[in-house]
Amino acid sequence: MKITPIIGIEVHVELKTKSKMFCGCSADHFHVEANIHTCPVCLGLPGALPVPNKVACQWCVKLGLSLGCSINEESFFERKNYFYPDLAKGYQITQLQKPFAINGRLNIDGHNIRINRAHMEEDTGKSVHVDGSTLLDFNRSGVPLVEIVSEPDLISAEEAKKYLNKLQQIIRYIGISDADIEKGSMRCEPTVNVCIDDQFYTPLAEIKNVASLTGVMNAINYEIKRQVDEYQSNKITKNSTNKTTRGWDADKNQTFLQREKEGSADYRYFPEPDIPPITFTKEQIEEIRQTIPKLPDEKIAEYKLLGLSDYDASQLADTKEFAEIFEKIISLDQSPEFAKFSANLLIGPLKIIEIDINKINPDHFKELFDKKSELSSTAIKQLILDSYQSGQDPLVLAKEQNLFQVSDTGALEAFAKEVIEANPKAVEDYRKNPLAIGFLVGQLMKISKGSANPQTGKEILEKLLK
Protein backbone atom coordinates (compact mmCIF):
# COMPACT_ATOMS: atom_id res chain seq x y z
CA MET A 1 0.00 0.00 0.00
CA LYS A 2 1.37 3.38 -0.98
CA ILE A 3 0.72 6.15 1.55
CA THR A 4 1.09 9.83 0.69
CA PRO A 5 0.30 12.26 3.48
CA ILE A 6 -1.31 15.55 2.41
CA ILE A 7 -0.79 18.31 4.92
CA GLY A 8 -1.79 21.96 4.96
CA ILE A 9 -1.28 24.27 7.90
CA GLU A 10 -3.14 27.31 9.18
CA VAL A 11 -0.94 29.45 11.36
CA HIS A 12 -2.20 32.28 13.55
CA VAL A 13 0.38 34.81 14.64
CA GLU A 14 -0.28 37.50 17.22
CA LEU A 15 1.37 40.73 16.24
CA LYS A 16 3.34 42.57 18.89
CA THR A 17 1.88 45.97 18.11
CA LYS A 18 1.53 48.33 21.06
CA SER A 19 -2.24 48.55 20.74
CA LYS A 20 -4.99 46.17 19.71
CA MET A 21 -6.37 45.73 16.21
CA PHE A 22 -9.40 47.99 16.47
CA CYS A 23 -8.95 50.08 19.61
CA GLY A 24 -6.26 51.82 21.63
CA CYS A 25 -5.99 49.19 24.39
CA SER A 26 -2.62 47.61 25.08
CA ALA A 27 -2.21 44.38 23.12
CA ASP A 28 -0.25 42.86 25.98
CA HIS A 29 -2.24 40.03 27.55
CA PHE A 30 0.34 37.49 28.69
CA HIS A 31 0.19 37.10 32.48
CA VAL A 32 -1.84 40.28 32.86
CA GLU A 33 -4.62 40.71 35.43
CA ALA A 34 -7.91 39.74 33.79
CA ASN A 35 -9.93 42.33 31.88
CA ILE A 36 -7.75 45.35 32.57
CA HIS A 37 -6.74 45.99 28.96
CA THR A 38 -10.28 46.50 27.75
CA CYS A 39 -12.54 49.26 26.48
CA PRO A 40 -16.01 49.53 24.88
CA VAL A 41 -14.58 48.42 21.52
CA CYS A 42 -12.86 45.19 22.54
CA LEU A 43 -15.63 44.38 25.01
CA GLY A 44 -18.08 44.71 22.15
CA LEU A 45 -20.27 47.16 24.08
CA PRO A 46 -23.29 48.57 22.27
CA GLY A 47 -22.41 51.47 20.01
CA ALA A 48 -18.67 50.83 20.00
CA LEU A 49 -16.95 50.88 16.60
CA PRO A 50 -13.71 49.35 15.30
CA VAL A 51 -10.98 51.53 13.83
CA PRO A 52 -8.23 49.47 12.16
CA ASN A 53 -4.69 49.65 13.49
CA LYS A 54 -2.55 50.94 10.60
CA VAL A 55 0.68 49.43 11.84
CA ALA A 56 -0.91 45.99 12.13
CA CYS A 57 -2.20 46.21 8.55
CA GLN A 58 1.24 47.26 7.33
CA TRP A 59 2.86 44.40 9.21
CA CYS A 60 0.49 41.93 7.63
CA VAL A 61 1.51 43.27 4.23
CA LYS A 62 5.15 43.09 5.31
CA LEU A 63 4.77 39.44 6.20
CA GLY A 64 2.95 38.82 2.93
CA LEU A 65 5.81 40.36 0.97
CA SER A 66 8.36 38.34 2.98
CA LEU A 67 6.49 35.20 1.92
CA GLY A 68 6.53 36.21 -1.72
CA CYS A 69 2.82 37.06 -1.77
CA SER A 70 1.01 39.44 -4.09
CA ILE A 71 -0.59 42.31 -2.22
CA ASN A 72 -4.19 43.22 -2.94
CA GLU A 73 -4.15 46.94 -3.50
CA GLU A 74 -7.86 47.01 -2.62
CA SER A 75 -8.93 44.90 0.31
CA PHE A 76 -11.59 44.98 2.96
CA PHE A 77 -12.59 43.45 6.26
CA GLU A 78 -15.48 41.09 6.74
CA ARG A 79 -17.55 39.82 9.62
CA LYS A 80 -17.45 36.15 10.47
CA ASN A 81 -20.59 35.51 12.50
CA TYR A 82 -20.75 32.85 15.20
CA PHE A 83 -21.67 32.63 18.85
CA TYR A 84 -19.05 31.89 21.45
CA PRO A 85 -18.88 33.23 24.99
CA ASP A 86 -15.47 34.84 24.51
CA LEU A 87 -16.42 36.41 21.18
CA ALA A 88 -17.68 39.75 22.46
CA LYS A 89 -19.46 41.05 19.37
CA GLY A 90 -20.89 37.77 18.17
CA TYR A 91 -18.67 38.08 15.13
CA GLN A 92 -14.97 38.21 14.39
CA ILE A 93 -13.62 40.89 12.08
CA THR A 94 -11.46 39.10 9.53
CA GLN A 95 -10.78 38.91 5.80
CA LEU A 96 -12.17 36.33 3.42
CA GLN A 97 -12.67 37.57 -0.13
CA LYS A 98 -9.89 40.15 -0.31
CA PRO A 99 -7.09 39.43 2.15
CA PHE A 100 -4.10 41.76 2.24
CA ALA A 101 -1.73 39.11 0.84
CA ILE A 102 -2.26 36.14 -1.49
CA ASN A 103 -0.32 33.52 -3.47
CA GLY A 104 3.00 33.29 -1.69
CA ARG A 105 5.45 30.45 -1.17
CA LEU A 106 8.00 29.12 1.22
CA ASN A 107 10.87 26.97 0.02
CA ILE A 108 11.64 23.96 2.19
CA ASP A 109 14.81 22.20 1.05
CA GLY A 110 13.96 22.82 -2.58
CA HIS A 111 10.27 21.97 -2.19
CA ASN A 112 8.01 24.95 -2.86
CA ILE A 113 5.18 25.14 -0.34
CA ARG A 114 2.48 27.41 -1.74
CA ILE A 115 0.90 29.92 0.60
CA ASN A 116 -2.72 30.65 -0.15
CA ARG A 117 -2.99 33.85 1.90
CA ALA A 118 -1.92 35.96 4.82
CA HIS A 119 -4.88 37.86 6.17
CA MET A 120 -5.58 40.22 9.03
CA GLU A 121 -8.04 39.52 11.83
CA GLU A 122 -8.59 39.92 15.55
CA ASP A 123 -8.12 37.50 18.40
CA THR A 124 -10.98 36.46 20.67
CA GLY A 125 -11.13 36.72 24.45
CA LYS A 126 -10.23 33.78 26.61
CA SER A 127 -12.50 31.39 28.46
CA VAL A 128 -11.01 30.22 31.72
CA HIS A 129 -12.67 27.19 33.25
CA VAL A 130 -12.55 27.11 37.03
CA ASP A 131 -14.43 24.72 39.31
CA GLY A 132 -17.18 23.97 36.86
CA SER A 133 -17.78 27.59 35.91
CA THR A 134 -16.34 29.62 33.08
CA LEU A 135 -14.71 33.01 33.50
CA LEU A 136 -14.14 35.39 30.62
CA ASP A 137 -11.02 37.46 30.13
CA PHE A 138 -11.12 40.02 27.34
CA ASN A 139 -7.52 41.21 27.53
CA ARG A 140 -6.81 39.15 24.42
CA SER A 141 -10.01 40.25 22.67
CA GLY A 142 -9.05 42.31 19.64
CA VAL A 143 -5.32 41.56 19.66
CA PRO A 144 -4.10 41.67 16.03
CA LEU A 145 -3.75 38.26 14.41
CA VAL A 146 -2.36 37.35 11.03
CA GLU A 147 -3.52 34.04 9.64
CA ILE A 148 -1.19 32.34 7.19
CA VAL A 149 -2.79 29.54 5.25
CA SER A 150 -0.66 27.10 3.29
CA GLU A 151 -1.86 24.97 0.43
CA PRO A 152 -1.88 21.23 1.25
CA ASP A 153 1.62 20.85 -0.18
CA LEU A 154 3.44 19.41 2.81
CA ILE A 155 4.15 15.72 2.61
CA SER A 156 5.47 14.75 6.03
CA ALA A 157 5.46 15.73 9.67
CA GLU A 158 9.15 16.50 9.32
CA GLU A 159 8.51 18.88 6.45
CA ALA A 160 5.65 20.50 8.35
CA LYS A 161 8.02 21.16 11.20
CA LYS A 162 10.58 22.70 8.88
CA TYR A 163 7.88 24.86 7.32
CA LEU A 164 6.82 26.13 10.73
CA ASN A 165 10.41 26.70 11.79
CA LYS A 166 11.08 28.71 8.72
CA LEU A 167 7.87 30.71 9.02
CA GLN A 168 8.69 31.44 12.64
CA GLN A 169 12.20 32.51 11.66
CA ILE A 170 10.89 34.93 9.01
CA ILE A 171 8.29 36.39 11.36
CA ARG A 172 10.95 37.02 13.96
CA TYR A 173 13.38 38.41 11.36
CA ILE A 174 10.88 41.04 10.29
CA GLY A 175 10.09 41.75 13.94
CA ILE A 176 6.31 41.59 13.89
CA SER A 177 5.76 38.92 16.52
CA ASP A 178 7.57 36.75 19.05
CA ALA A 179 5.93 33.81 17.28
CA ASP A 180 6.21 31.80 20.47
CA ILE A 181 4.20 28.60 20.18
CA GLU A 182 4.38 27.79 23.88
CA LYS A 183 3.07 31.24 24.82
CA GLY A 184 0.37 31.08 22.18
CA SER A 185 1.59 33.97 20.05
CA MET A 186 1.97 31.43 17.23
CA ARG A 187 -0.73 28.80 16.88
CA CYS A 188 -0.62 25.99 14.34
CA GLU A 189 -3.53 24.01 13.04
CA PRO A 190 -2.55 21.32 10.56
CA THR A 191 -5.17 19.77 8.33
CA VAL A 192 -4.24 16.24 7.41
CA ASN A 193 -5.41 13.51 5.15
CA VAL A 194 -3.78 10.69 3.29
CA CYS A 195 -3.75 9.56 -0.31
CA ILE A 196 -3.68 5.79 -0.56
CA ASP A 197 -2.33 4.04 -3.63
CA ASP A 198 -2.53 7.30 -5.58
CA GLN A 199 -6.32 7.09 -5.78
CA PHE A 200 -8.15 7.05 -2.43
CA TYR A 201 -8.26 10.08 -0.19
CA THR A 202 -9.12 9.76 3.50
CA PRO A 203 -11.45 12.34 5.10
CA LEU A 204 -9.83 15.63 6.16
CA ALA A 205 -9.06 16.22 9.82
CA GLU A 206 -8.14 19.61 11.19
CA ILE A 207 -6.10 19.35 14.37
CA LYS A 208 -6.47 21.93 17.13
CA ASN A 209 -4.75 22.69 20.44
CA VAL A 210 -1.24 21.78 19.41
CA ALA A 211 1.06 23.72 21.70
CA SER A 212 4.57 22.89 20.49
CA LEU A 213 6.50 22.06 17.34
CA THR A 214 7.07 18.52 18.55
CA GLY A 215 3.36 18.34 19.21
CA VAL A 216 2.66 19.31 15.60
CA MET A 217 4.91 16.51 14.38
CA ASN A 218 3.50 13.93 16.75
CA ALA A 219 -0.07 14.94 15.98
CA ILE A 220 0.49 14.69 12.23
CA ASN A 221 2.19 11.33 12.51
CA TYR A 222 -0.53 10.02 14.80
CA GLU A 223 -3.20 11.26 12.42
CA ILE A 224 -1.55 9.71 9.35
CA LYS A 225 -1.46 6.35 11.04
CA ARG A 226 -4.98 6.68 12.43
CA GLN A 227 -6.41 7.58 9.05
CA VAL A 228 -4.66 4.74 7.28
CA ASP A 229 -5.92 2.28 9.90
CA GLU A 230 -9.41 3.66 9.70
CA TYR A 231 -9.41 3.55 5.91
CA GLN A 232 -8.34 -0.06 5.98
CA SER A 233 -11.22 -0.96 8.25
CA ASN A 234 -14.04 1.16 6.77
CA LYS A 235 -12.86 2.31 3.31
CA ILE A 236 -14.48 5.71 3.84
CA THR A 237 -13.05 8.42 1.61
CA LYS A 238 -13.15 12.18 1.71
CA ASN A 239 -16.28 14.06 0.67
CA SER A 240 -17.54 17.62 1.06
CA THR A 241 -19.26 16.96 4.39
CA ASN A 242 -17.05 14.57 6.33
CA LYS A 243 -14.27 16.91 7.41
CA THR A 244 -13.77 16.69 11.17
CA THR A 245 -12.04 18.76 13.79
CA ARG A 246 -9.84 16.83 16.18
CA GLY A 247 -8.08 17.95 19.33
CA TRP A 248 -4.54 17.01 20.28
CA ASP A 249 -3.99 15.43 23.67
CA ALA A 250 -0.28 15.84 24.31
CA ASP A 251 -0.36 13.65 27.44
CA LYS A 252 -1.94 10.68 25.72
CA ASN A 253 -0.09 11.51 22.53
CA GLN A 254 -3.21 11.12 20.43
CA THR A 255 -5.89 13.11 18.64
CA PHE A 256 -9.56 12.93 19.60
CA LEU A 257 -12.75 13.88 17.80
CA GLN A 258 -14.07 17.38 18.61
CA ARG A 259 -16.56 18.25 15.89
CA GLU A 260 -18.01 16.47 12.89
CA LYS A 261 -19.42 17.83 9.63
CA GLU A 262 -17.14 20.84 9.54
CA GLY A 263 -18.19 21.42 5.95
CA SER A 264 -21.63 22.58 6.95
CA ALA A 265 -20.52 25.46 9.22
CA ASP A 266 -21.90 28.74 7.88
CA TYR A 267 -20.30 31.89 9.20
CA ARG A 268 -22.45 34.26 7.12
CA TYR A 269 -19.52 36.39 6.07
CA PHE A 270 -20.31 39.85 4.77
CA PRO A 271 -18.25 43.02 4.31
CA GLU A 272 -17.70 44.84 7.63
CA PRO A 273 -19.82 48.00 7.24
CA ASP A 274 -17.98 49.79 10.05
CA ILE A 275 -14.68 49.86 8.19
CA PRO A 276 -14.26 51.36 4.71
CA PRO A 277 -12.22 49.34 2.19
CA ILE A 278 -8.47 49.64 2.64
CA THR A 279 -6.14 50.56 -0.19
CA PHE A 280 -2.41 50.15 -0.45
CA THR A 281 -0.89 52.05 -3.37
CA LYS A 282 2.05 50.58 -5.27
CA GLU A 283 4.24 53.22 -3.62
CA GLN A 284 3.03 52.29 -0.14
CA ILE A 285 3.65 48.61 -0.83
CA GLU A 286 7.14 49.48 -2.06
CA GLU A 287 7.77 51.50 1.10
CA ILE A 288 6.80 48.53 3.21
CA ARG A 289 9.03 46.27 1.12
CA GLN A 290 11.97 48.56 1.92
CA THR A 291 11.52 47.83 5.63
CA ILE A 292 12.07 44.11 5.15
CA PRO A 293 15.58 43.07 6.18
CA LYS A 294 17.55 40.42 4.28
CA LEU A 295 15.84 37.15 5.08
CA PRO A 296 17.58 33.90 6.12
CA ASP A 297 17.64 32.34 2.65
CA GLU A 298 19.42 35.32 1.21
CA LYS A 299 21.87 35.48 4.07
CA ILE A 300 22.66 31.78 3.85
CA ALA A 301 23.44 32.19 0.14
CA GLU A 302 25.76 35.08 0.91
CA TYR A 303 27.57 33.20 3.66
CA LYS A 304 28.09 30.24 1.41
CA LEU A 305 29.80 32.54 -1.05
CA LEU A 306 32.31 33.23 1.74
CA GLY A 307 33.14 29.55 1.69
CA LEU A 308 31.05 28.53 4.66
CA SER A 309 29.31 25.20 4.71
CA ASP A 310 25.53 24.83 4.44
CA TYR A 311 25.35 23.97 8.09
CA ASP A 312 27.52 26.87 9.25
CA ALA A 313 25.66 29.35 7.07
CA SER A 314 22.23 28.34 8.30
CA GLN A 315 23.38 28.32 11.89
CA LEU A 316 24.63 31.88 11.52
CA ALA A 317 21.42 32.99 9.83
CA ASP A 318 19.30 31.36 12.52
CA THR A 319 18.30 34.63 14.10
CA LYS A 320 18.56 38.13 12.74
CA GLU A 321 20.62 39.27 15.71
CA PHE A 322 23.10 36.45 15.32
CA ALA A 323 23.46 37.12 11.63
CA GLU A 324 23.93 40.80 12.23
CA ILE A 325 26.74 40.33 14.71
CA PHE A 326 28.43 37.91 12.33
CA GLU A 327 28.25 40.47 9.56
CA LYS A 328 29.60 43.15 11.85
CA ILE A 329 32.52 40.91 12.75
CA ILE A 330 33.46 40.00 9.20
CA SER A 331 33.25 43.63 8.12
CA LEU A 332 36.61 43.98 9.95
CA ASP A 333 38.36 41.59 7.59
CA GLN A 334 37.07 40.49 4.21
CA SER A 335 39.13 37.30 3.97
CA PRO A 336 37.32 33.94 3.76
CA GLU A 337 39.71 32.66 6.44
CA PHE A 338 38.46 35.23 8.90
CA ALA A 339 34.84 34.41 8.02
CA LYS A 340 35.44 30.73 8.68
CA PHE A 341 37.40 31.54 11.87
CA SER A 342 34.61 33.76 13.22
CA ALA A 343 31.86 31.41 12.16
CA ASN A 344 33.52 28.56 14.08
CA LEU A 345 33.63 30.64 17.22
CA LEU A 346 30.06 31.91 16.90
CA ILE A 347 28.48 28.56 16.31
CA GLY A 348 30.95 26.80 18.61
CA PRO A 349 31.67 28.27 22.01
CA LEU A 350 29.28 31.20 21.63
CA LYS A 351 26.24 29.24 20.50
CA ILE A 352 24.85 29.33 23.99
CA ILE A 353 21.29 29.78 25.15
CA GLU A 354 20.39 33.27 26.29
CA ILE A 355 23.34 34.83 24.56
CA ASP A 356 23.32 38.60 24.76
CA ILE A 357 24.27 39.71 21.28
CA ASN A 358 25.07 43.21 22.48
CA LYS A 359 27.90 41.87 24.64
CA ILE A 360 29.76 40.42 21.67
CA ASN A 361 32.67 42.63 20.63
CA PRO A 362 33.71 42.13 16.98
CA ASP A 363 37.21 43.49 17.68
CA HIS A 364 37.92 40.48 19.89
CA PHE A 365 37.44 38.19 16.92
CA LYS A 366 39.84 40.17 14.80
CA GLU A 367 42.48 40.35 17.55
CA LEU A 368 42.36 36.62 18.10
CA PHE A 369 42.44 35.97 14.38
CA ASP A 370 45.59 38.05 13.99
CA LYS A 371 47.31 36.13 16.79
CA LYS A 372 45.94 32.72 15.92
CA SER A 373 49.39 31.28 15.13
CA GLU A 374 50.45 31.96 18.70
CA LEU A 375 47.39 30.51 20.37
CA SER A 376 46.07 27.00 20.49
CA SER A 377 42.59 26.45 19.10
CA THR A 378 41.48 25.37 22.58
CA ALA A 379 42.83 28.62 23.98
CA ILE A 380 41.06 30.67 21.31
CA LYS A 381 37.74 29.03 22.12
CA GLN A 382 38.24 29.66 25.81
CA LEU A 383 39.39 33.22 25.25
CA ILE A 384 36.38 34.23 23.11
CA LEU A 385 34.02 32.90 25.73
CA ASP A 386 35.91 34.51 28.63
CA SER A 387 36.12 37.86 26.91
CA TYR A 388 32.40 37.66 26.05
CA GLN A 389 31.59 37.03 29.66
CA SER A 390 33.98 39.51 31.26
CA GLY A 391 34.15 42.08 28.48
CA GLN A 392 37.96 42.05 28.80
CA ASP A 393 40.35 42.10 25.86
CA PRO A 394 41.12 38.46 24.92
CA LEU A 395 44.78 39.17 24.27
CA VAL A 396 45.19 40.65 27.74
CA LEU A 397 43.51 37.55 29.11
CA ALA A 398 45.84 35.35 27.04
CA LYS A 399 48.84 37.06 28.48
CA GLU A 400 47.55 36.83 32.05
CA GLN A 401 46.86 33.15 31.63
CA ASN A 402 50.11 32.50 29.81
CA LEU A 403 48.36 31.12 26.79
CA PHE A 404 50.67 32.46 24.12
CA GLN A 405 52.45 29.55 22.58
CA VAL A 406 56.20 29.34 22.72
CA SER A 407 57.70 29.27 19.24
CA ASP A 408 61.18 30.14 20.48
CA THR A 409 63.31 27.17 19.31
CA GLY A 410 65.76 27.44 22.20
CA ALA A 411 63.09 27.02 24.82
CA LEU A 412 61.35 24.33 22.83
CA GLU A 413 64.58 22.34 22.40
CA ALA A 414 64.94 22.20 26.15
CA PHE A 415 61.42 20.83 26.50
CA ALA A 416 62.04 18.36 23.65
CA LYS A 417 65.21 16.99 25.19
CA GLU A 418 63.41 16.50 28.49
CA VAL A 419 60.63 14.58 26.73
CA ILE A 420 63.05 12.35 24.82
CA GLU A 421 64.94 11.49 27.96
CA ALA A 422 61.83 10.71 29.96
CA ASN A 423 60.20 8.48 27.31
CA PRO A 424 62.68 6.02 25.89
CA LYS A 425 59.95 3.53 25.04
CA ALA A 426 58.04 6.07 22.99
CA VAL A 427 61.21 7.10 21.22
CA GLU A 428 61.74 3.52 20.26
CA ASP A 429 58.19 3.29 18.97
CA TYR A 430 58.75 6.37 16.90
CA ARG A 431 61.79 4.90 15.27
CA LYS A 432 59.68 1.93 14.17
CA ASN A 433 56.67 4.01 13.24
CA PRO A 434 57.05 7.77 12.58
CA LEU A 435 53.36 8.26 13.22
CA ALA A 436 54.02 7.66 16.92
CA ILE A 437 55.48 11.17 17.12
CA GLY A 438 52.02 12.26 18.31
CA PHE A 439 52.58 10.90 21.79
CA LEU A 440 55.88 12.76 22.16
CA VAL A 441 54.31 16.01 20.94
CA GLY A 442 51.56 15.51 23.50
CA GLN A 443 54.15 15.11 26.24
CA LEU A 444 55.89 18.23 25.06
CA MET A 445 52.64 20.18 25.21
CA LYS A 446 52.05 18.80 28.68
CA ILE A 447 55.32 19.85 30.22
CA SER A 448 55.12 23.21 28.50
CA LYS A 449 51.66 23.57 30.04
CA GLY A 450 50.16 24.04 26.63
CA SER A 451 52.30 27.02 25.80
CA ALA A 452 54.28 25.28 23.11
CA ASN A 453 53.36 25.73 19.50
CA PRO A 454 52.64 22.12 18.62
CA GLN A 455 53.83 22.41 15.01
CA THR A 456 57.18 23.91 15.94
CA GLY A 457 57.51 21.44 18.81
CA LYS A 458 56.94 18.53 16.46
CA GLU A 459 59.53 19.79 14.01
CA ILE A 460 62.14 20.13 16.79
CA LEU A 461 61.43 16.64 18.11
CA GLU A 462 61.83 15.17 14.66
CA LYS A 463 65.11 17.06 14.18
CA LEU A 464 66.52 15.84 17.50
CA LEU A 465 65.51 12.24 16.80
CA LYS A 466 66.99 12.08 13.36
Partner 1 sequence: MTDLNKLTLKEAREGLKTKKFTPVDLVQSCLDRIKLLDVKLNSFVTVISEEALKQAKTVDINLPLGGIPLAVKDNYLTKDILTTASSKLLDNYIAQYDATTIKKLKNAGAIIIGKTNLDAWAHGSSTETSDYGPTLNPWNLNHLPGGSSGGSAAAIAADETIISVGSETAGSIRQPAAWCGVVGFKPTYGRVSRYGIIAMKSSTDSPGPICKTVDDAATLLEIMSGHDPRDATSINEDTWKKPEIRQNLNGLKIGLPLSYFSPQTQPEVKEAILKAVDILKKLGAQILELPDVLDPKYSIAVYTILQRSEVSSNLARFDGIRYGHDRSYFGTEAKRRIMLGTYSLSAGYYDAYYLKAQKVRTLICQDFDKQFQKVDAIIGPVSPTTALKVGASEGQAMFGELQDMLVEPSSIAGLPGISIPCAFDKTGLPIGLQIMAPQKREDLVYQIAKLFEDNTDYHLQRPNL
Provide the binding-site residues for partner 1, judged by CB under 8 A: 40, 44-52, 79, 81, 83, 85, 88-91, 136, 266, 268-270, 273-276
49 or 352: CB nearest partner 1: 49
What is the rounded distance in angstroms from the CA atom of residue 123 to the CA atom of residue 27?
10
34 or 250: CB nearest partner 1: 34
CB 133 to partner 1: min, Å? 12
CB 121 to partner 1: min, Å? 16
58 or 453: CB nearest partner 1: 58
Nearest alpha-carbon partner for 100 in 149, 138, 135, 136? 149
What is the rounded distance in angstroms from the CA atom of residue 148 to the CA atom of residue 120?
9
47 or 410: CB nearest partner 1: 47
CB 184 to partner 1: min, Å? 23
CB 25 to partner 1: min, Å? 13
Is the separation of the CB atoms in 252 and 243 below 8 Å?
A: no
CB 224 to partner 1: min, Å? 31
274 or 459: CB nearest partner 1: 274
47 or 424: CB nearest partner 1: 47
54 or 289: CB nearest partner 1: 54
CB 394 to partner 1: min, Å? 56
CB 338 to partner 1: min, Å? 54
CB 136 to partner 1: min, Å? 8
3-state secondary structure the chain: CCEEEEEEEEEEEECCCCECCCCCCECCCCCCCCCCCCCCCCCCCCCCCCCCCHHHHHHHHHHHHHCCCEECCEECCEEEECCCCCCCCCEEEECCCCCCEEEEEEEECCEEEEEEEEEEEECCCEEEEECCEEEEECCCCCCEEEEEEECCCECCHHHHHHHHHHHHHHHHHCCCCCCCCCCCCEEEEEEEEEEECCCEECCCEEEECECCHHHHHHHHHHHHHHHHHHHHHHCCCCCCCCCEEEEEECCCCEEEEEECCHHHCCCCCEECCCCCCEECCHHHHHHHHHCCCCCHHHHHHHHHHCCCCHHHHHHHCCCHHHHHHHHHHHCCCCCHHHHHHHHHHHHCCCCCCCCCHHHCCHHHHHHHHHCHHHCCHHHHHHHHHHHHHHCCCHHHHHHHCCCCCECCHHHHHHHHHHHHHHCHHHHHHHHHCHHHHHHHHHHHHHHCCCCECHHHHHHHHHHHCC
128 or 305: CB nearest partner 1: 128
CB 47 to partner 1: min, Å? 4
104 or 142: CB nearest partner 1: 142
CB 83 to partner 1: min, Å? 6
280 or 303: CB nearest partner 1: 280
